[in-house]
Copies of this chain bind each other. A is one copy, B any other.
C-alpha cells in the first residue's frame, strides 16, 4: 500500500513535468523567446503540489487522470506565473528560485513580466479549450473555481496585502487573511475544483473544503518554519526573507515552537477529515504528511 501511493505520486509528478515541458517545446516564431522564458520557469521544477492535489482528488472519483492532466498543468502554469511576478525587482526582488536564477535574472524584467502574463493567460486558454471539448456545467464550474482563486479575491489579492504589509506589524486576522488568499486560495481550489469536476456530493465538497483550507494553512506555517530553520541550498531560495524584509509571519506572531505544534495539529485535522470521507483518500493522506515533513 505504502509503495503504491509513493508510486502514483512519483508517476503523477513525472507526468506533470513532462506535460509542462512538452507544452512549450518547439513553439513560437518571432515570439520564441517568450516560450523559452515560460519553459525555463516551468522546468525549474518545484513540488507540483497544486496539480498533484487536483489529480489525486480527481482520482478519488475516476482513475483516468489523463482526462484532466491539462487542467492540472494549467493550475501549475498559474502558480508559476505568480512566482515569476513575485520575484520581480518591483515585488520581492529575488535572485534565486528553486535553486536557479529567477526568470528576470535570465531573461530581463520585461520578458519576465510577459512570461508571467503569458503563463496566466495560457492556463486560462487551456481551461476554455477543455470546456469547449467537455461542455458540461460541472466542468465549467471547476475552471471557474480555479480562475477565481488566482484573482483579486484570491492569490493576487493576497499578494497585494503582502506587499502592503512590508515593514509594518499587521494584526493576526490580516495575517490569516493574507495567507488564506495568497497561498491558500489556489491550494484549496485545486482540491475543490477536482471534486466539483468529478461530480462529488455536497457533503464531500464540504469536507474537502475544510481539508483544503486547513492544508493551505499548514502549508504556509511550514513555509514560515522553513524560512527560519531551513537550509537555503535545499530550499533553493534565500532563507530568513521575512525577517530581513521586516514582515509579520506566523513565526513572528506565535514563535517557532508554537508554529511547529500548530503545523502538527493542523495536519492531524487534515488527516482526520479525510478519514471521514467515504472514499479512498490514502493518496491525499500521504501527500498531506509529505507536506508536513518536507525540507523544502
- Which B residue's beta carbon lies closest to that of A174? B30
Chain B nearest CB: distance from A242 CB in Å? 17
- Which B residue's beta carbon lies closest to that of A104? B90
Pick the contact of A118 from B31, B90, B152 — CB < 8 Å?
A: B152
A149-176 interface bits toward B, Cβ cutoff 8 Å, 1 = contact, 0 = none? 0111100111111011000000000100
Contacts of A159 in B (CB 8 A): 114
Chain B nearest CB: distance from A153 CB in Å? 8
Pick the contact of A140 from B81, B85, B128, B157 — CB < 8 Å?
A: B128
| CB-based contact A113/B128 at 8 Å | no
- A137–B128 Cα distance when bound, in Å, is 11
Q: Which of A32-40, A198-206, A268-276 contacts B (4 or more CB under 8 A)?
A: A32-40
| Contacts A121-B151, A128-B144 given; does A31 touch B161 at CB 8 Å | yes
| CB-based contact A132/B121 at 8 Å | no
| CB-based contact B147/A124 at 8 Å | yes
A110-126 interface bits toward B, Cβ cutoff 8 Å, 1 = contact, 0 = none? 11111011101110110
Give the size category of A's interface with B.
Answer: 35 or more
Contacts of A153 in B (CB 8 A): 31
| A129 interface contact, C-beta 8 A | yes
Pick the contact of A156 from B34, B112, B161 — CB < 8 Å?
A: B34
| Contacts A90-B90, A132-B137 given; does A152 touch B85 at CB 8 Å | no
Pick the contact of A121 from B29, B120, B129, B136 — CB < 8 Å?
A: B120
| CB-based contact B160/A114 at 8 Å | yes
| CB-based contact B85/A88 at 8 Å | no
Pick the contact of A31 from B85, B132, B144, B152 — CB < 8 Å?
A: B152
| CB-based contact A121/B144 at 8 Å | no
- A141–B133 Cα distance when bound, in Å, is 10
- A131–B132 Cα distance when bound, in Å, is 10
Q: List 19 A-B contacts (CB under 8 A).
A: A29-B177, A30-B174, A30-B177, A31-B152, A31-B157, A33-B160, A34-B156, A34-B160, A85-B113, A85-B114, A111-B163, A114-B156, A117-B117, A117-B156, A120-B120, A124-B147, A125-B151, A128-B144, A135-B135
Please provide the 8 A-B residue pairs with the shortest distance between their CB atoms, ordered closest to farther: A90-B109, A31-B157, A121-B151, A128-B144, A118-B152, A34-B160, A118-B156, A124-B124
